[in-house]
Every structure is written in C-alpha cells, then in structure tokens.
Amino acid sequence: MAAPQEAPRLTLRQLLRLMVERGASDLHITTGSPPQLRIDGSLVPLRTPPLTPRESKTLCYEVMTEDQRLRFEKGHEIDFSFGVKSLSRFRSNVFLQRGAVSGAFRAIPFEIRPLSELGMPPIVEELCSRPRGLVLVTGPTGSGKSTTLASMIDKINSENRHHIVTVEDPIEFLHSNKLCVVNQREVGADTSSFKDALKYALRQDPDVVLIGEMRDLETIEAALTISETGHLVFATLHTNTAAQSINRIIDVFPSGQQSQIRA
C-alpha cells in the first residue's frame, strides 16, 4: 500500500495572498514552525507541518532579487520591499537565526488613505502646509507611523507644486507625481546610507524631505540642519510620547552639546 502523500507546500506568494485575505498584518517564516500570521495582534500558526531550513530559505528567497540575496548572504540580514500585482505591497526583513533563514513580511496597501480617513486632528493637516520645520511622527512599532507619514506626503503632493525627496529603508508606500515631483530613495539600492542621502539632499533643491527613521546622531544632525535652512522635514522615531521624542533626540548628542540642543 502506497504511503499517503504530503499536501503540497504553499509558495510565499500564496502565503501572502492568504495573509491579505485573512486580514493579517504580518507573516512570519521560521524554521521549526509552520508559517504564522499576525491577526488582531496575535500570532496564528497555519495548519501545516513545521518548515525545514531549506523550505524557509526557499520561501524567503522567492521574492528577493539576485542583488538582495548577495547582500543578505554577506550581511546576514536585509530590509526590502516589493509588490505583488493586484494584491498589495510588502515590507520585508530577512535574517538568520541559529544559522537558518527567517523572514517577517508586513502588508502595505497600494492605496494611500487620506488624512480624513485616519481620524487625525486638524493640526496634522495644518502641519502639511508649513513652509519649514521638523515634524516628528512617533509611536511604537505597528502604531501607524508610516501610514500617517504617507498620508501627509500625499496631501502635500496633491495640493502644492513642490519637490519632495524621501530617504527610506526600505521604500514602503509608492508616491506618483501629482502636483509635486517626488523622488524616493532607498538605502542600499539608491544610496549607501541615510547620512549620504541627506548630505546631498540640499543640493537637490528640495522643498520637503522625508526621513524614514532618525536612527543615529548623524541622521538627526542632518534633519535639524535641513529644517533650519528653510525646508520642511518629516521623520519618525520609535518613542511613545512627545516628551520621550525630545529626550531621545537630546540624548543622542554628546553631553557637551546637549544644553545647546535643548535650548
């Protein structure tokens, strides 16, 4: 009697479609566990056998370009984004754990929702019309920082004739040129670092600059310089309150400069 055949494995694209259909925010690929979906904040495993190291690698590599695979194999982790036609865009982080390839994939809608649908107070729309300054969108992971920033940039793009430069790692929401010219630069693909991209941003005649995340001293210094020279800068920080955001920025600077920054 022939042994029963195991059900065929789903491809990553099939898993991503299942993720969107079930309203999940994230998909997790990890060796020794079945694929898991984050639904309403909790991880829900699919009813499939645990993934082997080879299967985890095959799934994660399915959507990576040759260049991305080389960068991953050299650095052991990589951020990137991609789109699946008629489905959604996705932000991805592929990494090694205990020598095996793992991945986390988050869904990003193709359509950018207007600020009016996000329930934002009127001051948020007003900030989009400021001619200069630094606007920080803060909150914990998954709180909607990227969605909010995308909506703010889209509002500017729809109402002004400006040059918008974004520096992201990776690019999440795609902006077409409406009234504005929008240049989106991805760290690793279009520029070597936030530092280098922001160094040259002022030479690109921008009106608005978006910084995907202020991670270090050099990026924060560049953001402050760009905003102080007459440009409108948007950026994110992983903090829970406005007070924490200010303290995080100040704490990054050497102690001898902190009083100057605080002033």
User: What pLDDT score was predicted for residue 142?
Assistant: 79
Return the half-sphere exposure (C-beta side, CA atoms, 13 A cut-off) of residue 120: 22
pLDDT tens sequence across 43-94: 999 999 999 999 999 999 999 999 999 999 999 999 999 999 999 999 999 9
- Top pLDDT among 263 and 16 is at 16
Average pLDDT, the chain: 92
All residues at 6 or more sequence positions from 134 whose CB lies less than 8 Å from its CB, including other chains: 223, 224, 227, 233, 235
**Over pLDDT 70: what percentage of the chain?**
97
Distance CA 217, CA 60 (A): 33
12-108 and 115-262: identical CATH topology: no
Burial-class residue 33 by CB neighbours within 10 Å (0-12, 13-18, 19+). middle
DSSP code for 134:
E
pLDDT confidence band for 8 (50 / 70 / 90): low
Domain over 12-108 is classified CATH 3.90.850.10: no
Asked if 125 and 135 touch (Cβ cutoff 8 Å), the reply is no
pLDDT tens sequence across 165-213: 999 999 999 999 999 999 999 999 999 999 999 999 999 999 999 999 8
* Angle ∠(91,78,35) on CA atoms, nearest 5: 60
E-state strands within 66-180: 77-84, 88-97, 100-108, 133-138, 163-168
pLDDT confidence band for 7 (50 / 70 / 90): very low
pLDDT tens sequence across 219-235: 999 999 999 999 999 99
Task: State how far the alpha carbon of 35 is from the alpha carbons of 14, 43, 49, 92, 141, in Å.
Answer: 12, 10, 9, 15, 21
Tokens describing residue 198: 């922001």
pLDDT confidence band for 109 (50 / 70 / 90): very high
Distance CA 107, CA 102 (A): 17
Residues across the chain = 263
Residues forming beta bridges with residue 93, ordered by sequence position:
79, 104
Q: Specify the pairing of strand 88-97 against strand 36-39.
A: unpaired
Mean pLDDT for 128-144 is 91
pLDDT confidence band for 23 (50 / 70 / 90): very high
**Over pLDDT 90: what percentage of the chain?**
81
DSSP states along 17-58: HHHHHTT-SEEEE-BTS--EEEETTEEEE-SSPPBPHHHHHH
pTM of the model as a whole? 0.88
Q: Where are the domains of the chain?
A: 12-108, 115-262
3-class secondary structure, 107: strand
Q: Which fold has domain 115-262?
A: Rossmann fold (3.40.50)
